[in-house]
Structure 1
Amino acid sequence: RLLFPESKLSTFEGKGRFAREFPCELEQMYRSLSFLAGQKNHLEEHLNKQISKKLNRNLAVAFYDVTTYYFESVLADDLKKFGFSKDNKVNQVQVVMGLLIDDQGIPVGYDLFPGNTNDFRTLEPVLLRMKEQYGIKKIILVADRGLNSKGNLLFLKSLGFEYIMSFKIRSGSKKVKEMVLDESGYTYISPEFKWKKCEFQSFVRTKEKTHVLDDHLLITWSSKRAQKDRKDRERIIEKSKKLVESKSQLKAELKKGGKKYVQLTFLEDDHISFNEKQAEIDEQFDGYYAIQYSDPALSPEKVLEAYHGLWKIEESFRVLKSNFEARPIFVWTEESIKGHFVICYLALVIQRLLEYLLHTKGIDYSTEKIQDAIRSATITKVHLDGKEIFIKNKSDDVFSDILKAFGLEDIPAYGVKDKRT
């Protein structure tokens, strides 16, 4: 999968690309998917034990996020369902994946969910399994605002875990908004960036009682984010004004994010108008961003450093989808789908581990360069006088760097296999 990410049929048809032959029928390859699905947790546990031994792995900080994978299909079942697609494939069924990685970007584990599962409902089952399976006692979980629900935060606290989560200011309380706009307490790192730390209390109601979460908000402002927010808002305003001008475009455009500043008054013959007041309110918060975190011992610098590490998991999803072509998915039964993701996950672990080990040697190459380098390590077979002669082809310079980094010998210039013996 790492070298030649293709359909199972194409993988079978291309097995002759490898120097060593292996006997395998297409039917056996498809059957192996169900076997791998059943071994998923055992494989995951084995990998984590080996990685922990070799790397002295630190799970003090871990990153979690959710993505979706679509099928070239509209047939729904218990796993494949219609839902919010992160690939904008609104007319195709999908599955949802929750992925946990360590602070080096190496995966710890994942779970699959039906395609209509909300992001925030994936966190509890994934972390509960991780805690029970690996005995993790303390972890600081870093996640985006799609997972920031009061129920999730209370659950993390109940496990003894801490969290660093993005907080949506514009949907916050009046008190939070006043706190953001209040200039007192800000530390100016430069004219382009400032921050302040505020105490933040929230309440979670369960059947038993009301729980209090005593957290902190790290509020930041940057000129770069202000410019981006302004451009994003201007784009939405433009869409909203088009809706106001043309009712016929209303339904189609609402799906594209243009409804934010459209005001619909049913009591006035479905009167549609542009919500100028809301646009002015939003403008006040251009450039501001907030991070909610639970551990008071963390400095603002540590919080920002940890939160900015979220790119590692976003990059992992990109690698799975692009480099390993995990989607679209062309197998249909639930067990085959699960087996497909086991293969993709194993490829991701190998790739991330290789990148990390190269990094420790002072070598940093992209996923694409590493894939191309390993693919370039080829030989040519020549049959002569009953002998099979192997001749090494010229490989990528990056492949030579990889071999040197690990102290491995290069492929011999040639070799002979005598079929008569």
Structure 2
Amino acid sequence: MFLRFTSRTNADGSVVRYVALAHNRRVDGRVRPDVLMNLGRTDQVDVAGLRRLAASINRHYGDGDTDPGGETSTVTGAAPLELIDARTTGSVWLLEQLWQRLDVAAAVRAATDARRFTTNMERVLFALVANRAIAPMSKLSAAEWVREDAAIPGLSTMDDDHAYRAMDLLVDADTQGRVQEAVFFAVANLLNLEVDLLFFDTTSTYFERDTEDDGDDAFRRYGHSKDHRHDLPQIVIGLAVTKEGIPVRCWCWPGNSNDQAVLTEVRDDLRDWKLGRVITVVDRGFTSADNLAYLRRAGGHYIAGMRMRDGNPLVEQVLARQGRYQHVRDNLRVKEIRLEATDIRFVICHNPEQAQRDQAQRDEAIARIHAELARIAEQRTRDADRPRGDKTRARNEAAHVRAECALRDHPTLGRWLTQQTNGRLRVNAGKVKTEARLDGKYLIATSDPHISAEDAALGYKNLLEAERGFRDLKTQLLLRPVFHRLEHRIRAHVLICWLALLLTRVAERGSGETWRNINRQLGRITQVTLAGPAGTVTQTTPLNPGQKAIYQALSIQPPARVTTFNPS
């Protein structure tokens, strides 16, 4: 039983409150309050009489504790509630709403409707993605996180078998294609993104093992490591993002794949989505003549970074052309160059601040070289002036040669040196002069005849969004270490990380906060379950202003204060 309060507004605007003694009873499966006794208006009720009644009930059925005045210290005499469970819910709830809004749940359900699973695989897959975004851990630990720590809507329990089954389902060719395509168009429509400009780049991630997989079609292979771990087998990961930084598709290739060989597959996959006019933005690693020609098929266009130091005669002509720079931003100037022999437009970009940094670094390197060459020459002269035997002189000369070889092979200083016919080293003045011409500059080419030089330059700078996505995959979402051995499980792991990156990027863009801050704020919202004589109730802790602001910015209704009530 409990006290039930109601109110009535009079014609003059005054509000009158009434109190009644009531209890809950179940009618047709629903709990309804049933009034046992009306006690009247709250301002006229006999409060002292109610206290005496509560004290009498407590003396006969309670713990018997009374205060010095003869009344019980517990007014109602109710047994205390016991906290039996507490789970994090704030960040999970936000990701759940974005998961539904981006049609990921609908795409997964559509792919699994014809299959029979005892567990909702769409819920398991969401749990894995949420775990990767909130508290990245192994699949076995993620299952424990779902059972003990997180409140996943529609999923009360999960084990590692469920996790692996969901991963196998995600990497299925049909499911993977549906999910990625549904996500792409849902994100574009929801956020009103410009999908005619897509940025593509690749990275690699390694495995903590000594040898690569066997066979010509092996997946974990040695290759060019962008993590500088050439001693470990790896895979190559590709990512396509919009200029707003939203990752819309990802790819995986064997570890020995090179950038020049994967671009055709990327272009074909994006062409299947029938996007219409698309400009693909790629870095210098993809700018072979065949790749650039392939990007122009079916009316496509590209913005590509060009190598300025590989001796390409076309690039040399562009760099030799005179012209006036156009000021674009505080730290960016552009100059468009057109050549008669081609319809490709070239844009030279110049950053004055970067030019100063390049010159300072080069001057420092040249100074270090001169100092080291002077030290070697001085030591050689000193040793020559000392009367010593032939063996000692030979040993000293060998030491001088080793010092010169170490300087010549130095990873940053060796590029400024040239070796003379007598074996001695000197600074390559021609190299220094050539590099000085390139200080603060980079060259891009575009096949689009309509885009302005300014938009092409700024568009290419946005390629940094793809690099930021890779950085967050590896640090914030802990893409590695990867403990999976089978190829389809590795691919599924990458897809789960991609989905987590997608949800966090959408949350960041909508709220204007970093995901680290969002997760920290919403992670303090807890769902607690209390048990007492009347039954059990599950409710969430109240929200502070910062947490409310995040939900409001993303147009997401916060989790309900009371989610379930089970009367005993």
Match of 1:82 in 2: 222
Q: Is the 8 A contact 2:535 2:567 kept in 1?
A: yes
Matches within 5 A, 1:2-401: 2-15=133-146, 16-20=148-152, 22-38=156-172, 39-77=175-213, 78-132=218-272, 134-173=273-312, 176-177=315-316, 179-180=318-319, 182-187=321-326, 194-200=333-339, 213-234=342-363, 237=366, 247=402, 254=409, 256-263=411-418, 273-356=426-509, 358=510, 363-385=511-533, 387-393=535-541, 397-401=545-549
For the structure 1 residues 188 and 107, does the alpha-carbon distance in structure 2 shift closer, same or farther, using more than 3 Å as the test?
A: closer
TM norm structure 2:
0.64
Percentage identity across paired residues of the two chains: 24
Cα deviation, residue 390, structure 1: 3.2
Cα deviation, residue 224, structure 1: 0.6
| Distance in 1 (alpha carbons) for counterparts of 2:134 and 2:408 | 41
Q: Deviations over 1:248-281 (max 9, x none)?
A: 695899584444234357x86x765543321222
Aligned-partner residue type, residue 493 of structure 2: H
For the structure 1 residues 254 and 42, does the alpha-carbon distance in structure 2 shift closer, same or farther, using more than 3 Å as the test?
A: farther
| Distance in 2 (alpha carbons) for counterparts of 1:199 and 1:110 | 35
Any stretches of 5+ residues in structure 1 without a counterpart?
203-212
Q: Deviations over 1:229-260 (max 9, x none)?
A: 22443466578779976636958995844442
| Distance in 1 (alpha carbons) for counterparts of 2:403 and 2:254 | 35
Cα deviation, residue 97, structure 1: 0.9
Q: Is the 8 A contact 2:204 2:236 kept in 1?
A: yes
Aligned-partner residue type, residue 288 of structure 1: K
For the structure 1 residues 247 and 82, does the alpha-carbon distance in structure 2 shift closer, same or farther, using more than 3 Å as the test?
A: farther
Deviates most, 333-342 or 301-310: 301-310
For the structure 1 residues 235 and 32, does the alpha-carbon distance in structure 2 shift closer, same or farther, using more than 3 Å as the test?
A: farther
| Distance in 1 (alpha carbons) for counterparts of 2:275 and 2:541 | 47
| Distance in 2 (alpha carbons) for counterparts of 1:375 and 1:197 | 50
| Distance in 1 (alpha carbons) for counterparts of 2:350 and 2:339 | 18
Aligned-partner residue type, residue 368 of structure 1: R
Cα deviation, residue 393, structure 1: 3.2
Q: Deviations over 1:171-222 (max 9, x none)?
A: 34456446435543434669975432111477xxxxxxxxxx5211111223
Cα deviation, residue 62, structure 1: 0.9
SS at match of 1:260: helix
| Distance in 1 (alpha carbons) for counterparts of 2:335 and 2:200 | 25
Deviates most, 186-195 or 407-416: 186-195
Cα deviation, residue 163, structure 1: 0.9
| Distance in 1 (alpha carbons) for counterparts of 2:348 and 2:203 | 27
Deviates most, 404-413 or 12-21: 404-413
Any stretches of 5+ residues in structure 2 without a counterpart?
1-131, 377-400
Aligned-partner residue type, residue 162 of structure 2: Q
For the structure 1 residues 289 and 344, does the alpha-carbon distance in structure 2 shift closer, same or farther, using more than 3 Å as the test?
A: same
For the structure 1 residues 128 and 411, does the alpha-carbon distance in structure 2 shift closer, same or farther, using more than 3 Å as the test?
A: closer
Q: Deviations over 1:376-420 (max 9, x none)?
A: 322233333373333533556543112223444433445553274
Q: Deviations over 1:78-133 (max 9, x none)?
A: 1111222222222222111111122332222111011121122221111112212x
| Distance in 1 (alpha carbons) for counterparts of 2:167 and 2:405 | 45
Cα deviation, residue 72, structure 1: 1.7
Q: Is the 8 A contact 2:188 2:195 kept in 1?
A: no
2:566 is matched with which residue: 410, 418, 421? 418
Cα deviation, residue 157, structure 1: 1.4
SS at match of 2:220: coil
For the structure 1 residues 165 and 392, does the alpha-carbon distance in structure 2 shift closer, same or farther, using more than 3 Å as the test?
A: same
| Distance in 1 (alpha carbons) for counterparts of 2:230 and 2:407 | 13
Higher radius of gyration, 1 or 2: 2
Aligned-partner residue type, residue 437 of structure 2: Q
Q: Deviations over 1:306-360 (max 9, x none)?
A: 122222222211221122111221212111101101111111222222333x1xx
| Distance in 1 (alpha carbons) for counterparts of 2:416 and 2:438 | 16
Aligned-partner residue type, residue 356 of structure 2: Q
SS at match of 1:89: coil
For the structure 1 residues 390 and 6, does the alpha-carbon distance in structure 2 shift closer, same or farther, using more than 3 Å as the test?
A: same
Aligned length: 402
Deviates most, 334-343 or 47-56: 47-56
TM norm structure 1:
0.84
| Distance in 1 (alpha carbons) for counterparts of 2:338 and 2:229 | 40
